Amino acid sequence: MERDKGMKIKSQKAQEKSIVQRSTAQLDTLPKNYPQFLEDLKSRIRTAQIKAALAVNSELIGLYWYIGKSIIERQRAEGWGKSVVERLAADLQREFPGVGGFSRQNVWDMRAFYLAWTEQVSNLQRAVGDLDGKNLPRVVGEIPWGQNLELLAKLKDPIQRLWYARKAIEHGWSRPVMVLQIESGLYERQVKAVTNFRHTLPPPQSDLAQGVTQ
């Protein structure tokens, strides 16, 4: 029996060696530009996966914006109270089981999300390009929901929230990295640096310095 077992193991190893040899031979007969072709395809696939994920994320953020907007409109027009909103969350969870996005807390977060980019923007003393108090800033729809929640929780100023959202996209920050940048006061440090350029350099040099530091 031991002899049969040993023969079986040897046979398996021989088969494996044969497969490797055939694979190597096949590689030797492949077109010269095949490796580059394969790498190009893999790159295109990864890019397509990223684009698909971003598109899904953008749709999801747009949906959450719509739900928050709809709740606010009903509350203002029909006097919806807390109990109605929480019933809505429960009904959505029953209809879409396993989808964590419709938890009671998350539905309230959708409401806060809408107010953060409308009512809170309307209270600003100065206008900002991408902030009109009516529409969701495009860049905000490009970052994940978890990062949007961090912006709402940690920053009261819509201008700062928008700034960090842009930086998150520009530098590919993850949620923990973005939180670290917020807690370290990156916005304040960079704004202070720009302000110092304005005060210490003649106008032409000031403009150049600001362009370099942006």
What's phi and psi for 124, nearest 5 deg? -65, 145
Give the pTM.
Answer: 0.73
Helices (runs of H) and strands (runs of E) counted in the chain: 10, 0
Residue 50 has a pLDDT of: 87
Residue 12 has a pLDDT of: 72
Residue 196 has a pLDDT of: 56
Residue 140 DSSP label: G
| Calpha distance 170→186 (Å, rounded) | 15
Query: What mean pLDDT value characterizes the chain?
Result: 83
**Residue 158 burial by Cβ neighbours in a 10 Å radius (0-12, 13-18, 19+):** buried
Query: Within the chain, what is the greatest distance between any pair of CA atoms?
Result: 93
> Residues 140, 58: contact at Cβ < 8 Å?
no
Q: Residues 6 or more apart from 131 whose CB is under 8 A from it? A: 117, 121, 124, 137, 158, 159, 162
pLDDT in tens, the chain (214 residues): 555 555 666 667 667 666 556 655 555 688 889 999 999 999 999 999 888 988 899 999 999 999 999 999 999 999 999 999 999 999 999 999 877 789 999 999 999 999 999 999 988 866 677 899 999 999 999 999 999 999 999 999 999 999 999 999 999 999 999 999 999 999 999 987 765 545 444 444 434 333 333 4
Token duo for residue 141? 């729809």
Helix, strand, coil: what percent of the chain each, to 5? 80, 0, 20
Determine how many CB atoms are found less than 10 A away from the CB of residue 79. Answer: 8
Residue 97 has a pLDDT of: 86
What's phi and psi for 128, nearest 5 deg? -130, 135
DSSP 62-99: HHHHHHHHHHHHHHHHH---HHHHHHHHHHHHHHSTT-
Q: Which one, of 134, 132, 151, 129, lies nearest residue 142 by Cα?
A: 151
